[in-house]
Each structure stands twice: as structure tokens, then as C-alpha cells.
Amino acid sequence: MESYKDKLLEAMFPLVDDLLEKYGEFFPLGAAILRDDGIASLATYDGDERPKSDAVIADLKEAIKAGFKKREYKAAVIFYDIYVTHPETNIKSAAVAINYESVGENSGFIFFFPYKFSEDKELSYDPGWYDEVPKELFIEFS
């Protein structure tokens, strides 16, 4: 059985790859597993054509929290473009970061997938890693 994480990554990575290949960057975007196991794409728009990533991420987090509170979502991801230092090599590079949380897990996770472009502008990823983090989206509401 495919995990929620795998299902969300498989659904969203092609879009992220396409945005990176076309524009060299992307604005934060998200997706959620619905109660019927369908996938909903999540995005925000406040009228600003060049919004700050932090503001978009905050808006996506609020949308996910609201969906969870209404019992609409089982799991969710937020994809964002960052620069990160690899924990083993100390090399800083561009990366796709993915904040993942699920109803059935005790922790959240942030996955990092460093990427680069060849001289021919071909996108490739280096081996990634993850950090376990406290949950902030799928928390129990009283």
C-alpha cells in the first residue's frame, strides 16, 4: 500500500520539476490527502504577483490547519524552494524542501532534495535527507 507521503510526492514532484525547468524557481505550493484518499492541490493568492515565500507558506499552513480542523485532510505537504546547507558536507545549495505531516504520525518531517542545473539546463537532484520536527499542522484541537 502506498503511503500518504509517497502519494503526495508522486503527485506534486512533476509540477515542481516543470516549474524549476521553466522558471528556475517556484512559489510555495501544497497538497493534501482528502478523507476519500483523493488529492487536493493547495495554493494561495493575495493579489501580489511576487509574494514573499514566508507569507505564502504561512497562508498554506493556515489553510491546512483549517482543513484538518474540519476533518477534511489526512495528510499534507508544502513544497518550497530554499537554499540549505547539507548536514554532512556543509555545502550550501538550492533545494526543494517539503514539509510533510499526517494525522497518524507523532512527528512532522521536512525533506530536502538538493537540485542543480547542468550547462544544458537539465535539472537533476542530489541525494536528499530529512529532519524529524514537531507537528504544527495536524495537531489535535479541543
Range list of β-strands (E), the chain? 29-34, 39-42, 73-85, 92-102, 108-117, 123-125, 129-133
**Alpha carbon of 45 to those of 28, 55, 107, 132: distances in Å?**
11, 10, 29, 29
What is d(CA 32, CA 76) in angstroms, rounded to the nearest whole number?
4
**Domain residue limits, the chain:** 4-133
Tens digits of pLDDT across the chain (142 residues): 579 999 999 999 999 999 999 999 999 999 999 999 999 999 887 787 888 899 999 999 999 999 999 999 999 999 999 999 999 889 999 999 999 999 888 899 999 999 999 999 899 999 999 999 999 888 765 3
